[in-house]
Structure 1
């Protein structure tokens, strides 16, 4: 599939409002992280209930470095599965755990009714340290996918990196690794966040050229905290355009304005992805609903019931 032509996108933008009467045919999913405190639990649950009426394909819950949030992740996933209409997906990593321990966690998820796993190699518990597989563990995400498939017919999502994973020697090796994960039984790949539609389109072309036909879902991070985003980006190899940093300059003391700018930037990128035939989006919510909800609304999605009724 070819990349979107910049000239046709410019003509489209000039010919009509960017978000006028979109068909609402996009599919979305949302990512949350397990809360540490009762207050954070309340914030998370407000976000879940606000986004639930949009009818996402699934919502996922992250797993801390080294399995540091194992219990909280399980409790959050189980509660979403139990108390909402949402399909909950649990993140699972290879870090600092044996195959037996990881398999036990997966079995607990299956018993709780969870049928979707986001299978990741995972980050070392010490930032900046090099990944080392557990002596009795899964050596990488492809091995984890294969192991999970032996246990149960899980639906499995894996990670993809439009700008190359920092541990990969080059883009070709990175795509080869993605192919191994999909060949092991993964259903789709969700990308790390990026801030240029062209980065995704180029990656999509490289993936297709490698013979990969599985669904590649772009991961969207609406930026409201530039300093935090820079930290995230440094860990995963994502580039932040200079213009974006300058756009948020002077907004540290203006949170409402920062939210508006963040929504505008992310929504425009999603609109350009949509114009390039993307119909699935995965939002990294950081446990806040407003930005993701607004962008979904601009993409033509409408709540199946009013959000305030769903939260009542």
Structure 2
């Protein structure tokens, strides 16, 4: 058993040497709701921009106030940093005419990359009038946007089956999406099996793994329950006894994320999307260790 673990560690260390400087990263942020959170957000953007991410995305809430904040932050990122800034856009809280206006405004502002999502349905709502596939087509009718869509290695909570979920992803790609970014996951095999199934279904775009560096395990468990993400038992054991030890939790979370990237890189993955939760520390440390350095 010890020999196996020694070989496994050696393989991970070797992969770390192999991937140094050979991966691309992107980062996700969310609109802040207070002045203090906004300061934290811009500090994080300022630090992570030095790693030359492929793009940065900003999430989007189902109300006009948060929508306006997303728009403002996206324009601010583009103007202040020159980074490829990609707003999330959902279609459950706006009609096609409103969505066309938003898309046209983004296009006129020089925004060329959009993350197109259906969005979370309000409690008690019926069948939505539009889906992400329809939003992708609408965006392509406005301009030649670079469009990212969502993918779910462990199946969307509302999907009738894994196959139905995969067919839905293919519809989004066929409508004009350039790539899929996955929900966060911790079972690397689930991503690799999903990627194989995508290829078998004729999905030929990049399936970018979404990486969530964990520092608050209890919060993660709540997220995972809502999003149908499996938290492996080994991960529960690694965080056991650390409820009151925030610093050690950060080290554990960073270690897990780095190992995931090492393994996935050995399987040919080159692009990784980090869910930062508006904090730069863990994502920056992970990227630095993996050889993504300031230019």
| TM bracket, shorter-chain basis | over 0.9
Which aligned segments of 4 or more residues in structure 1 are displaced greater than 2 angstroms? Answer: 7-23, 65-68, 129-132
Alignment of 1:17 with 2:13, yes or no, is: yes
Aligned-partner Cα distance in 2 for 1:12–1:262: 19
* Deviation of 1:14 (Å): 2.7
The SS at the match of 1:69 is: helix
Distance 1:227 1:114, change over 3 A: same
Summarize deviations over 1:205-230 as a string: whole Å, max 9, x none: 10011111111100001111122212
Select which of 92, 95, 103 maps to 2:92: 95
Select which of 219, 233, 249 maps to 1:242: 233
Q: TM-score when scaled to structure 1? A: 0.89
Greater share of residues in helix: 2
Select which of 153, 166, 191 maps to 1:162: 153
Q: Which residue of 2 is the match for residue 47 of structure 1?
A: 44
Greater Cα shift, 253-262 or 61-70: 61-70
Aligned pairs for 1:1-312 within 5 A: 11=7, 13-14=9-10, 17=13, 19-20=16-17, 22-66=19-63, 69-126=66-123, 129=124, 132-134=127-129, 139-304=130-295
Aligned-partner Cα distance in 2 for 1:48–1:15: 33
Structure 2 unmatched ranges of 5 or more:
none
Distance 1:131 1:231, change over 3 A: farther
Summarize deviations over 1:79-120 as a string: whole Å, max 9, x none: 001110211001000112111111111112112211100000
- Size of the aligned set, in residue pairs, is 292
Aligned-partner Cα distance in 1 for 2:159–2:65: 25
Residues 19 and 262 in structure 2, CA contact (< 8 A), matched pair in contact too: no
Q: TM-score when scaled to structure 2? A: 0.94
Distance 1:8 1:162, change over 3 A: farther
Distance 1:245 1:8, change over 3 A: closer
| Cα root mean square deviation, aligned | 2.0
Residues 29 and 59 in structure 1, CA contact (< 8 A), matched pair in contact too: yes
